[in-house]
Structure 1
Amino acid sequence: MFKLLVIEDDKSLFHEIKERLTQWSYDVHGIKDFNQVMDEFSEIKPDLVIIDIQLPKYDGFHWCRMIRSHSNVPIIFLSSRDHPTDMVMSMQLGADDYIQKPFHFDVLIAKIQAILRRVYNYSTDQIQLKTWCGATIDYEKNTVSNESGTIELTKNETYILRELIEHKNNIVSREELINSLWEDERFISDNTLTVNVNRLRKRLDEIGLGQYIETKVGQGYIAKEGKTL
């Protein structure tokens, strides 16, 4: 049974989310004290976090930063705000998805299921270590290492990089990435993919590899093989 932490201060909404997700056999937990979110996160050790943006004391962006400083657990944002910068901010902070309120519970459940399948199942039949452009990629630990150092990626970033590397020197279309990453493109915006790829490239820049992920306008993305071990 997967353990989910819902960081939501609207009690009626939280209980509705909990009731719906419990029907799908998820173990759902809420926050008792919004001043002690990280303590409760560490105690619960969730497999996935659902977090609202507008919260008491500190907003969801703050808690996302705190969680990401300790864990790569998947994070889904919920928000009643419809400004595009909120979604961009959440993705830049390392969130895996963003759902605007009001939402249909079928959409929430579909996103949760897709993320859990991707994060906890996708690597079981894959080789865990891969070399690319002189770097070693550990799919299990979500790290990329070379002589310049080691960077840690989010689950989404690792998955995107894996898909591109498995088809290195060939263009992977945006549609292929969306379908592979989120399983159903109806449940994800095109802009979300752009944000994730840009964030991946920025992280790779830290160890000199960002230039090897190229955007092919109107086509997709390509991982070039530019270095040798």
Structure 2
Amino acid sequence: MEYIIYIIEDDISISRLLKEHIDKYGLSARIVENFDNIIEEFLLIKPHLVLLDVNLPKFDGFYWCRRIRENSKVPILFISARESGLDQVRALENGADDYITKPFSYEVVMAKINSHIRRAIGDYATTIGERIIEMDGLKFYAERLEVTFQGKTILLTKKEAILLESLIQTYPKVVNRDYLLEQMWDHSDFVEENTLNVNVTRLRKKLQDLGIANGIQTIRGLGYKLNKSW
């Protein structure tokens, strides 16, 4: 199967270099052609992963990330010269799966691309029938990335789903941060320090939207555990 990578970057020299490396490793890269019709191009190309810059003409990458998330669950990796922790938090909160700062190593970019593809649709993706994980009224549909509770339903990102499943499966034990990093990313050495924290915060907020307050407890110096107090 040929995996398609959609590059949304306004620096044509970076786009071409990314395409060159991606194609060299047996994937198929497509560079954005019209910044006014990104969603239309996305739906036409049907990529398996998106590389997305923050600074773009007309609308920024955060806007397009939200728009893509309205249509798809594919992995979205930001690539940006903006190193601010706030920008990285905004990217993750808007639905991104990872954030890579410029200047970057193309080998690291390829490692992250391959890692996210394996997690989402490749060798590490779930291939069995639909799994439903239940806990005291909470139902987690692993393949649909959906969680239901008391008549309400929320949609998770792939990372949030891995995080929630790890917390449920290990309850009532504490889940070590290093273990979570290994489960959520193949190459944890390349993960920004606050990326896991952001995903935990985002999942905690979604559980709160379901009516589960303080659903994830932080155990200082160790990791996290599910706070099953609903």
For the superposition of Structure 1 and Structure 2, which TM-score range results when normalised by the shorter chain? over 0.9
Deviation at 1:129, TM superposition (A): 1.1
**Aligned equivalents of 2:212, 2:162: Cα separation in 1:** 16
Q: Is 2:117 the partner of 1:123?
A: no
CA offset digits 1:145-192 (Å, max 9, x no partner): 122411001111111111111111110111110122112221102210
Q: Secondary structure at the match of 2:22?
A: helix
**Aligned equivalents of 1:190, 1:148: Cα separation in 2:** 36
Q: Is 2:161 the partner of 1:158?
A: yes
Contact 1:203 1:210 in 2 (8 A): no
Q: Is 2:70 the partner of 1:66?
A: no
Contact 2:208 2:215 in 1 (8 A): no
Amino acid corresponding to residue 167 of structure 1 in structure 2? T
Q: Of 165, 168, 172, which residue of structure 1 is paired with 2:171?
A: 168
**Aligned equivalents of 2:73, 2:168: Cα separation in 1:** 21
2:44 is aligned to: 43
2:102 is aligned to: 101
Contact 1:61 1:90 in 2 (8 A): yes
Contact 2:130 2:143 in 1 (8 A): no
**Aligned equivalents of 2:130, 2:214: Cα separation in 1:** 25
CA offset digits 1:23-58 (Å, max 9, x no partner): 111111111110111110111111110001111111
2:205 is aligned to: 202
CA offset digits 1:106-139 (Å, max 9, x no partner): 1101111111111123322586211023111111
TM-score (norm 2): 0.94
Residue-pair matches, total: 227
The root-mean-square deviation of aligned C-alpha atoms, in Å, is: 1.5
Alpha-carbon spacing, 1:132–1:184, altered in 2? closer, same or farther (3 Å): same
**Aligned equivalents of 1:70, 1:127: Cα separation in 2:** 21
Q: Secondary structure at the match of 1:150?
A: strand
**After superposition, where does 1:1-229 map in structure 2 within 5 Å?**
1-120=2-121, 121-124=124-127, 128-226=131-229
**Aligned equivalents of 2:130, 2:169: Cα separation in 1:** 11
Deviation at 1:92, TM superposition (A): 0.8
Equivalent pairs: percent with the same residue?
38
Contact 1:21 1:109 in 2 (8 A): yes
CA offset digits 1:89-118 (Å, max 9, x no partner): 101111100000110011101111111111
**Structure 1: which 5+ residue stretches go unaligned?**
none
- Return 13-22 or 114-123, whichever deviates more: 114-123
**Aligned equivalents of 2:201, 2:45: Cα separation in 1:** 32
- Return 132-141 or 46-55, whichever deviates more: 132-141
**Structure 2: which 5+ residue stretches go unaligned?**
none
Deviation at 1:210, TM superposition (A): 4.2
TM-score (norm 1): 0.94
Q: Secondary structure at the match of 1:194?
A: helix
**Aligned equivalents of 2:204, 2:215: Cα separation in 1:** 9
**Aligned equivalents of 1:209, 1:156: Cα separation in 2:** 19
**Aligned equivalents of 2:18, 2:6: Cα separation in 1:** 11
